[in-house]
Structure 1
Amino acid sequence: MDIVMLGHSAAGKTSYLSLMYAAMCDGVEGMTLRTEDRDAHRSLLADARAILRGRYPRASDRPRCYEFVLCHEGDGIFPFRWTDHRGGALTEHRRSSPQAARLHDDLVAADGIVLFVDALRLDTDPEAAEDIRRLVVRVHQAVADREESVTPLVIALTKTDLVDLGAPDAEERFIGPFLPLIEAVQETRHIQGAFIPLVCGPEPEGVALPVLWTLRFGIIGRAMELSASIDSLMASARHADQRDTLWDRISSWWEDEPSWASIRDRDRSLAAGELARLEPLVEPADRLGELLEDVLSF
């Protein structure tokens, strides 16, 4: 699964990634993250420890790609790639900027998208709404024609500890700029959206939710693929079993071609292998459903 993270500069993407990784290393409902990249592991945890002490990492100046594995009760069950795009790529034209071109290509191919928006800037800077409009247009253009698979889309509102989300006009100020995107998503079958407030500072809040919400759809999608494959293989095995005869076994041996019996056994074996890959996904999918039931989705 390929997940793309994007947002304007200083929206908190770099801080989020470190805090999210640290929180998931500690574990949530029996689920953890790991990476084979030891340098990335040490760097992310070091940045998280610094943030918890009030020191924030510098914003990324180039795309970073991380290879993670979601684990359940210590067993790796779902590998995914997380790409962090620098904020400046959003304002550049892809014809003249290689990083802007890569951002567009990654969005088109993404299996999941997480948009980061600075709540404080949205609350205090009149130009922030226009920046969000451009961000929304960029994302919508990339996913509008997608129909083959479900794409989770998270709007992550950062720095919510610095604004008043309980104010009477909070919904208009913080959700209003996204209404065109929310309405467009609601008209589709293939995009599932969520709106998640975050705090990415010394007292982090909600940092595990965007990644877990996104991965839940990846896990469900993979489970559906495996289930369909099992059904197809078992149907093929039944078809072959009905045609298995002694004469077919003899003639197939004589002509050096697969017999219906060998085809049946092959498909049953393949189905058993697919089932072995499906079973570890069932309990995590159920747990994630319970954990994320209160997330504001659209």
Structure 2
Amino acid sequence: MNIVMLGHSAAGKTSYLSLMYAAMCDGVEGLTLGTADPAAHRSLVNGAGAILRGSYPRASDRRQAYEFVLRHQGADVFPFRWTDHRGGALTELRSASAQARQLHEDLVAAQGIVLFVDALHLATDPEAPEAVRRLIVRVHQAVDAREETLTPLVIALTKTDLVDLGAPGGEERFVGPFLPLIEAVAGTRHIQGAFIPLVCGPEPENVVLPVLWTLRFGILGRAMELSASIERLVASAQYADARDTVWDRIGSWWTDQPSWASMRDRARAEAAGELARLQPLVAPADRLAELLEDVLAF
């Protein structure tokens, strides 16, 4: 699964990634995160430690991709890639910047999108809603043509400890800019959206929710693919079994062609293999559904 994280500079993406990874390394209800890259592990864990002490990292100046794996009860169950784009790529023309072109390509191919927006920026800068609108246009263009692919989308509102979300006019200020995207997503069957307020500082809040949301629907999408494959293979096995006869086996042996019996056995073996890949996804999918019950979905 490919997950793309994007947002304007200083929206908190780099801080989020470190805090999320460290929190998931500690584990949530038997779910943990890992990486085979020791350098990435050290960098993210050390970054989280610095943030918890009040020292924030510099904004990312280039695209970075991390290879992670979700584990359930210590067993690897779902590998995924998390790509972090520098904020400046959002304001550059695709024709003028290699990183801007890469961002567009990553968004088109993304199987999960996490959109970061600075709540303090929305509260204090009159031009912030227009910047959010341009960001939303990028995302909408990337997912507009999708009709079948199950795609999780998270709007992550950062720095919510620095604003009063419940103040008069707060809903219009902090949710209003996203309404066109929320309404468009709500009208689809394949895009599953969530609105999640975050604090990515010394007292972090909700940092595991965006990654868990994207992984839940990534796992569900994979489970749906496997289930459909199993159904097709079982139907093929039944079709072949109904045509299996002694004469077909003899004739197939004589002409050196696959017999209906061999095609039945191959389809059954492939179905068993798909089932073996499906079964480890069931328990973590159920656990994720329980953990995300209270997330504001659209």
TM-score by length of 1: 0.98
Alpha-carbon distance in structure 2 between the residues aligned to 1:183 and 1:265: 48
- In structure 2, what is the equivalent of residue 54 of structure 1? 54
- In structure 2, what is the equivalent of residue 227 of structure 1? 227
Moved over 4 A (4+): none
- In structure 2, what is the equivalent of residue 247 of structure 1? 247
**Residues 103-148 of structure 1 deviation map (CA, whole Å, 9 limit, x = unaligned):** 1111111111100011111111111111111111111111111113
Matches within 5 A, 1:138-287: 138-287=138-287
Alpha-carbon distance in structure 1 between the residues aligned to 2:238 and 2:190: 33
Alpha-carbon distance in structure 2 between the residues aligned to 1:265 and 1:150: 32
1:51, CA displacement in angstroms?
A: 0.5
**Residues 28-69 of structure 1 deviation map (CA, whole Å, 9 limit, x = unaligned):** 111111111111011000000100100111111000000111
Q: Runs of 5+ in structure 1 lacking a partner?
A: none
Number of residue equivalences: 298
- In structure 2, what is the equivalent of residue 120 of structure 1? 120
Alpha-carbon distance in structure 1 between the residues aligned to 2:98 and 2:57: 25
Alpha-carbon distance in structure 2 between the residues aligned to 1:184 and 1:229: 30
Which residue identity lines up with residue 21 of structure 1 in the other structure?
Answer: Y
Alpha-carbon distance in structure 2 between the residues aligned to 1:52 and 1:69: 24
1:171, CA displacement in angstroms?
A: 1.0
- In structure 1, what is the equivalent of residue 32 of structure 2? 32
TM-score by length of 2: 0.98
Q: Runs of 5+ in structure 2 lacking a partner?
A: none
SS in 1 for 2:205: coil
**Residues 132-187 of structure 1 deviation map (CA, whole Å, 9 limit, x = unaligned):** 11111111111111113121110000111111122232211100111111111122
Alpha-carbon distance in structure 2 between the residues aligned to 1:161 and 1:199: 6
Which residue identity lines up with residue 270 of structure 1 in the other structure?
Answer: E
Alpha-carbon distance in structure 2 between the residues aligned to 1:203 and 1:151: 30
Which residue identity lines up with residue 24 of structure 1 in the other structure?
Answer: M
Alpha-carbon distance in structure 1 between the residues aligned to 2:225 and 2:142: 24
Which residue identity lines up with residue 241 of structure 1 in the other structure?
Answer: D
Matches within 5 A, 1:89-104: 89-104=89-104
1:13, CA displacement in angstroms?
A: 0.1
**Residues 261-289 of structure 1 deviation map (CA, whole Å, 9 limit, x = unaligned):** 11111111111110010011111111111
Which residue identity lines up with residue 265 of structure 1 in the other structure?
Answer: D
1:202, CA displacement in angstroms?
A: 0.5
Alpha-carbon distance in structure 1 between the residues aligned to 2:271 and 2:188: 33
Q: Are 1:14 and 2:14 counterparts?
A: yes
